[in-house]
Each structure stands twice: as C-alpha cells, then as structure tokens.
Structure 1
Amino acid sequence: MTESSVHPALWPAPHASGAVDATVTVPGSKSVTNRALVLASLAAEPGWLRRPLRSRDTLLMAQALRAMGVGIEEMVSSSSAVQGGPDATGEAWRIIPAGLHGPATIDVGNAGTVMRFLPPVATLADGPVHFDGDPRSYERPLNGVIDALRALGARIDDGGRGALPLTVHGGGALDGGPVAIDASSSSQFVSALLLSGPRFNQGVEVRHTGSALPSMPHIRMTVDMLRAVGAQVDEPETGGEPNVWRVSPSALLGRDLTIEPDLSNAQPFLAAALVTGGRVTVPDWPERTTQPGDALREIFTAMGGSCELTERGLTFTGSGRIHGIDVDLSEVGELTPGIAAVAALADSPSTLSGVAHLRLHETDRLAALTKEINELGGDVTETADGLRIRPRPLHGGVFHTYDDHRMATAGSVIGLAVPGVEIENVSTTAKTLPDFPDMWTGMLGA
C-alpha cells in the first residue's frame, strides 16, 4: 500500500468535540538520535542506541553511515518490551564502527542534520563521498561547513555553489585545527564540526564570527553528548572564550544510550490540551535536558495552561482560555509553527521574534505560516525577525505544508478548534514523527 493511499493528499484534520484527556507516548528525539549515530560511528568500540527514532531523517542518517562502512544492526527485543526495560519500545540499534571508506553516494533528503553533520565525517573516509538530496536541500545554506572544511584541509567539489550537490574527497584523515565561521544562519554548522572534531589530527577550534547564534540549546546538546563519550570540550558556557568551542583530539567511547522522547514533537499534543482545555500526559519527559522542546513548559503555561512534571512524565492541562504571548524564540525556533498555530486561536495578539533564520528551514516557515493562517481568515504579518499575530475568527480550508513536517502539525492544531481544515500531504510528518495521523486521532479517542 502506498503512502498516498494511506494518507491522501488532503487529510481532514480532526475537530475536537470536547476536552482532550490522553496519554501520548512520543518517539525518540531526532536531534539526539542523529547526533548519537554520528558519535557512535566515530567511536573506537561498538555501542548501543535504545529507543532510537525511526523516521525519514534518522533512517537517512543510518543509511548514509552504512554507505561509508559503519555497521548498524537493528534489533527488536520482545522480552524487554514486555518487562519495560531500557529499550521498552522493543527496539535497539547496535553500532559497529569500521574504517570509513568511499566511493559512496549519500541521499540527505531534506535533513539538515544529515547534510551538515556528514561532510566532516566524509573527510575521514578513504575515497570520494557524493552528497545529494531533495530539491529544497539545494536551497539550504551549507557554505559554513564547506568553507570550514576547506580551511581545515579538505578537498570538496561543489561547483562554487556553497550548497548541495557536492563531493567530499576523503583522505582518511583531516588535520583540523582552528577555523572561523559565520553560523548565524544555522547552529548546525558549529555542531557539525564539533561532532567529528575528536577524530581530526589536531582536534578543532570553532570560532563563530557572525551575529547572534540561533538554537543554542542544540549546540549545548552537542557538547553534552561529546562529553558523554569521552571528548574534552571547552566552551563559552563553562568559562571558555565567547563564541569559541574547542574539541581536543581523542578516541571516543562506545556507549549504551537510551534516547529521550522528542520534546519538540510533543508540542502538538501539549497544544491540544491548551486548545481544548483538556489534559495530555507525555511519559518519560526528562527532568534535565538540552532539548529546545523543554521550553514548551514555560511558553504554553504563559499562554494559559499549567504543567506538572512527575516520575510518570509531564502532564499539561489547559485552562479553557488561550492568551497571546510576546516571546523571543531565537533559541527554540523550531517551536515557532506550533506556537503560531496556538496564537492564532488566542484571545489577544502575539509577537514571535528572533526567528529570521526560519526562512532557511525546510521551507520559508515565516512566509508559509503567514500565508496559510491568513487564508483561513487569520491576521498574521511578517516582521524582520518573526511574526505578529492578531487573532480573528478562522474558517475551514486547505492548509498547505510545503513538505514541512512542522507545518503539518501546526495545521492540525488549528483544525482542533476550526472545523473543515484539510492538511495537504500530512504524510510529510514522517520526517520526524512517524504515525502522526494515527497518534493524533488516537489522542482524540477516534
């Protein structure tokens, strides 16, 4: 059965008939899974990933690493699933590092982590590694990684585009050392160099020279995960030089890592509690995390809900009212579509700022949100670095997604409160949240 036959081009977004009351188990974090795959592949010994996310982005990462020689074995453990052990979802991946090699061809899809994290890895391969992807991937910035790798001694053919498609001519090693980059368009430029840095002969020193860095929690995630596998990292937040990260050359340890739930993917379900005045519990919400999605606790509380974090997980409860918000989302930009959807249903205006970089994501998210919410009767205006949202009564219509998973989930949130909303290509949610349509209808008891 084809994907389109399972979820037709226009999916009628379910309309909530009352307050939601559900427990929703969210799959593992894409950001953690893909970083863990890279680090485990560069380790000096085998490792395990438990509860990994299986989605388009993570499967593309695994496929790419396999193409360069890494062994990745997918295993199902029915006994641990019954017992509720560390891989209670019944799935674990065994990562077996090997000598990286080419020739290899890698499909990045439209995954920022794959297109940016793997060219540094490819410099360590013995032979050429060619990168290609979806048409939109050609438009996404990659120059920060390309220019940095060239400065560190890599040979890369990109036709002068500073973007995909490109070929990295791996020499089996890279000198590394100090490099300056402008990562203001994507924090992934920094993370990409840091993740492979321990395997460079001189390590790496990354100096950001541009304007404010977006999505700093993702860099903190990279640093924490590097330290967890034995790397030595000096960073600004632990007394280092501002905007400079240093990773020393070292062997990396193989670890047994359980992947946290993806807190950003929990957003539409928490939003459902807020929009319907209901209650949603997300099990296994971590007490401490570097995931940007953890900011939802504070943001959605300010918009009219309340939350409680217990050993069971996070329970979020809506009050029956939604308030507008004035918020700087520069560190948590990926949450913008879901917040904009809720703000369009609020009782007062909202201003979302600090997210100009979203124009370079899977689609131009600021333009897309403005167009789609306004076509449902909304009043959204783009600003230099965000959105201004004045709530108005909305009506049904087609909500286009532009092959962007977070647009699809944002439209679904609006559909809870607005009858007749149809989501174009809801299956694009498979990028990071497989089975979203079934999870969404299941939450509503359908």
Structure 2
Amino acid sequence: MPTLTVPQPYEPWTAPTAAGPVAATLRLPGSKSMTARALVLSAISATTASVRRPLQARDTTLMAAGLAAMGADLDTSSVERWAVRPATLRGPAHVDVGLAGTIMRFLPAVAGLADGPVTFDGDPHARSRPLGPLLDGLRTVGLRIDAATTGGLPITVHGTGRIPGGEVAIDASKSSQFVSGLLLAAPRFTDGVLVRHVGGDLPSAPHVRMTVRMLRAAGAAVDDSVPDVWRVEPGELTGQEWAIEPDLSGALPFFAAALVTGGEVTLSDWPQRSAQPVELLIELIDQLGGRAELTSAGLTVRGTGTLHGITADLRQVSELTPVIAALATLADGPSRLTGVAHIRGHETDRLAALAAELGGLGAEVTELPDGLEIAPKPLRGGRFHTYDDHRMAHAAAVLGLVVPGIELTDVACTSKTLPEFPTLWTTTAGGSR
C-alpha cells in the first residue's frame, strides 16, 4: 500500500452548513474528460477545430499549455470557445502535467508525433502515479522513451514525427487512461494500433467508450467489437466543433447536497444523450434514497433527507467514490463499496485517505483491498485533510452541510477541475426553500 502523506496545510476553509433543504439551479463548467480528449484530437486533426464551453481549470489549462509547448496552435482567450488550428508539432519542449493523469497519459503519444525531445514532469505526487504500463506499450509501437527508475515521471519522449504503430498488449487494470493514451493519437500512427487489455477488470470503462466515441466523431475507424480489444486504423482526423457536456464527477457533490439536506438541485444544460455514464449515477442516487430526473430543464436530483446504506461496485464510476463514501457515513445502515483498488494511485491513495479522514470525524471505516466498508456513527466536526485532492475536498464539503465545524486543510485544490467550487458551494449551501 502506498504511504499516505499529509501535505502541509494551506489556508484552512470551514465548510458551510446548510440552514435547511437546499434549492438550487446551477450551470456547471464542462467535463474535464471530454475537454482533455477534445484538445488532443483537435491538436492532431488536419483541419481547424473548436472546443465549445471547455472546462477552464488547472488540468485543462495545463493540457492546453502542454500541447502549445509542442507547437499546437491554440487560442484559449475566449471563455466560451477555444480554437485549435492545424500545426506542425515539434520539440524540444517541456510539459508540466501538474497532478493530471490525462496529461501524463494522453500526451506522450502526441509527443512521439513531434520532431524532437519532449520532457514531462509535474507535482511531487505525480511521480508516484502509475505510468509504466503505458510507457511500455508506447515503446512497443515504436517510441523511444527515457523514464525514471520507478518507471514513471519524469520522462523524455524522443519524438521523430512518426510512430510506426502495430499491436500492443497492456495491463490497464490500474487506469483505463492507459488504453485511451494509446488510442487517441493512433490514427496518426503509420500502421494504426491494435490494443489488447490483458490484466484484471478494466476500471472506468465508460471513459474508454468516450474515447472511442470521440475518435469516431473525428473520422477515425475504430473497431471495439471484441471485449478488451480496440483496433484503430490509420487515417486523417477532421477538426470538429466539440460541445462539452457538464462534468458528471464534478456534479455529484451538488447532487449530494440535495440528498443530505432533503432538498432539490438542478444542473441545467444537461444533454438528453450523454457521453458520460449518467445512468450509473442515477442508479446510485436511487439506491441511496434520492430521485433523479432528466428533463429539458436539466438533470434534477431530489432528496428526502434520509440516506440508505448501499452495496455497490464502483469500478465503472470510481471518481464518484469519495463523495459516495461521505454519503455512506450519513446513511441509515452500513455500506460496502468495492471495485476501486486502482484509486490508490490517483491524486492520493484515496482509500487510505478516506478511511483516515472519515474515521477521524467519527465514522467506522474499514479499509478493504479494493474498497471500503462503512458503518455510520454520529459524526463530529474537525479537521479534514484534503491531500491536494479535489475529490477529497468535495467529500468534506458534503459532510459539512449537515455536520458543523468541518475544516478543510485546503479547498484551493478544487481548482484542479472547478476553480469556482468554493463560491458555488457557499451559494448552494445558503440557498434553501
């Protein structure tokens, strides 16, 4: 198990407590996952592309900066629309990945298409995030990559402007981003790519389906008819106008606000057909005791103020685990959350962090190899370490709505995917019916 390191605290932030059932209608920024994929596909397309209503947060601005460092022609001056024009990729260049898995896993293949060396590094904890299987896969299809002795960051990709491609077997059980990192640039490989996942169960499979869907929208020929096998043919990509959906994982804390207070929250502009696993979220909300409804007004969640314990395999929606775990501490019975061993390698070891912090507030939490068992107990206020992890901050903020005195060591880490979070959250907590 990774060592759980508590970073030095920043400016503490006391989570607001709701005076009653919240009532809010919100418009959230776009999906991090969709924005990242749209930027990569746009940068390697043969014609001009645009990204409409992109997420403007640390992960996505670092992604745009990394592509620009390699010579991509991006105009990110507009809040509503980023333009990406065809350009020749080149090195030498340096990419700051921050703590973003999307950058460290999506851009090395793009760097292979650049003419010259491209170095990658990021925040200290980024060096311990899993990367080795992807780098081995990229070496198999023809890239020369230097890496740290750990097999991860910092790395140097020696781009030649050309990647031969071919067949690669990869164990993506620690991150589905390993598969997406091989697929996204594959149309530009000389022979395309055939990727075969050979490890345990693939986590977050809906994100791979999003990758395939967006590749096809850009004109790529992708065959995913065989489970755990993906074939991408070589070919030219056409620039698209990518319409970015609201972020599903970023939406959950606000839906959770309705659940814990017995209120109602609507997120406007939600598409009737989503590239994200909305149906899985709706199912979880129903199991927890709430109700979700998708209408022309958006996606609305209503709570009763009573939460039920659940038994759930969260493998497909692992990003939701911290907030689901927080909700489980407030339920009327025990919960068992499994299938998420891989989130030990996220921004922090999320299972160890959740066990420590929820336990510190009074919950009875048992850490499993691949999840958590949670027995609700009366909670108390106290310090909640966020470990530079936006999802940990979300979990603490949800609890703070009904447990006074929860102090986050650092709410600024939410800027990774939603810089407006503190303001939006305070407004939501203060809105009641």
Task: Give the alignment's TM-score, normalised by structure 1.
Answer: 0.93
Are the equivalent residues in 1 in contact too, given 2:99–2:126 (CA < 8 A)? yes
Q: Do the aligned partners of 1:264 and 1:292 also contact (CA within 8 Å) in 2?
A: no
Q: Distance in 2 between matches of 1:445 and 1:418?
A: 15
Q: Give the alignment partner of residue 124 of structure 2, picking from 135, 158, 165.
A: 135
Distance 1:37 1:181, change over 3 A: same
CA offset digits 1:207-255 (Å, max 9, x no partner): 11111110000000000000000000000xxxx2231100000000011
Q: Is the 8 A contact 2:179 2:208 kept in 1?
A: yes
Q: Distance in 2 between matches of 1:404 and 1:293?
A: 23
Match of 2:18 among 16, 19, 34: 16
Q: Does 1:148 align with 2:137?
A: yes
Take 1:267 and 1:329, find their aligned partners in 2: how far apart are those partners?
14
Aligned residue in 2 for 1:162: 151
Aligned equivalents of 1:74, 1:110: Cα separation in 2: 21
The one-letter code sitting in structure 2 at the alignment partner of 1:416 is L
Give the superposition deviation at 1:301: 1.6
Cα distance change, pair 28–297 in 1 and its aligned pair in 2 (3 A): same
Counterpart contact for 1:45–1:253, Cα < 8 Å: yes
Q: Does 1:320 align with 2:326?
A: no
Letter in structure 2 aligned against 1:111: A
CA–CA distance in structure 2, aligned partners of residues 315 and 159 of structure 1 = 47
Match of 1:432 in 2: 417
Q: 3-state SS of the aligned residue for 2:366?
A: strand
Match for 1:270 among 220, 245, 255? 255
* Partner residue of 1:218 out of 204, 207, 231: 207
Deviation at 1:292, TM superposition (A): 3.6
2:227 alignment partner in structure 1: 242
Aligned-residue Cα RMSD (Å) equals: 1.2
Correspondence for 1:197: 186
Does the Cα contact within 8 Å between 1:108 and 1:132 map onto a contact in 2? yes
Question: Map of 1:89-104 to 2, 5 A cutoff?
Answer: 91-104=80-93
Report the Cα distance in structure 2 between the residues aligned to 1:299 and 1:243, rounded to whole angstroms: 25
1:69 to 58, 68, 71: 71
Runs of at least 5 residues in structure 2 that lack an aligned partner in the other structure:
1-8
Distance 2:193 2:297 in 1: 41
2:385 maps to which residue? 400
Comparing 403-412 with 142-151, which one deviates more in the overlay? 142-151
- In 1, Cα distance between the equivalents of 2:10 and 2:152? 33
1:22-75: per-residue Cα shift (whole Å, max 9, x none)?
Answer: 112111000000000000000001111110000000000000000000111124
- Show structure 1 runs of 4+ deviating over 4 A: none
Aligned partner of 1:83 in structure 2 is none
Residues 2-81 of structure 1 correspond to what in structure 2 (within 5 A)?
9-76=11-78
* In 2, Cα distance between equivalents of 1:295 and 1:212: 18
Q: 1:279 and 2:264 equivalent?
A: yes
- Extract unaligned runs of 5+ from structure 1: 1-6, 77-89
Identity of aligned residues (%): 59
Deviates more, 1:366-375 or 1:304-313: 304-313
8 A contact 1:267–1:293 mirrored in 2: no
SS of the aligned residue for 1:444 comes to: helix
Q: Does 1:256 align with 2:258?
A: no
Alignment partner of 1:171 out of 153, 157, 160: 160
Conserved? CA contact 1:75–1:91, under 8 Å? no
Alpha-carbon distance between aligned partners in 2 of 1:118 and 1:145, rounded to the nearest angstrom = 11
Contact 2:113 2:160 in 1 (8 A): yes
Q: 1:382 aligns with which of 367, 370, 373?
A: 367
**Contact 1:176–1:201, Cα closer than 8 Å, also in 2:** yes
Listed one character per residue, the Cα deviations across residues 168-205 of structure 1 (whole Å, up to 9, x for unaligned) are 00011010011111111110000000001000000010
**Does the 8 Å CA contact 1:264/1:293 hold for their aligned counterparts?**
no
Closer/same/farther in 2, CA of residues 294 and 75 from structure 1, 3 Å limit:
farther
Pairing of 1:302-313 with structure 2 (within 5 A): 302-313=287-298
Cα distance change on mapping 1:293 and 1:143 into 2, 3 Å? farther
For the residues of structure 2 that align with 1:401 and 1:419, how far apart are their CA atoms?
17
Corresponding position of 1:349: 334
Residues 263, 294 of structure 1: 8 Å contact kept: no
Residue in structure 2 matching 1:391, options 355, 376, 385: 376
CA displacement at 1:384 relative to structure 2:
1.8
Offset of residue 320 of structure 1: 2.0
Q: TM-score, normalised by structure 2?
A: 0.96
Q: Does residue 330 in structure 1 map to residue 332 in structure 2?
A: no
- Cα distance in 2, alignment partners of residues 75 and 10 from structure 1: 32
* Distance in 1 separating the partners of 2:181 and 2:142: 16
C-alpha offsets along residues 326-345 of structure 1, whole Å, 9 cap, x if unaligned? 01101110100000011101
Structure 2 CA distance, aligned partners of 1:294 and 1:97?
36
Deviation, structure 1 residue 293: 5.2
Distance (Å, rounded) in 2 between the aligned partners of 1:362 and 1:141: 11
8 Å contact from structure 2 (residues 363, 378) kept in 1: yes
Q: Which amino acid aligns with 1:337?
A: P
Does the Cα contact within 8 Å between 1:28 and 1:259 map onto a contact in 2?
yes
- Corresponding residue for 1:87? none
The separation in 1 between residues aligned to 2:86 and 2:103, in whole angstroms, is 18
Residue number in structure 2 paired with 1:371: 356
8 Å contact kept, 2:111–2:159: yes
- Equivalent residue of 1:327, what SS? strand
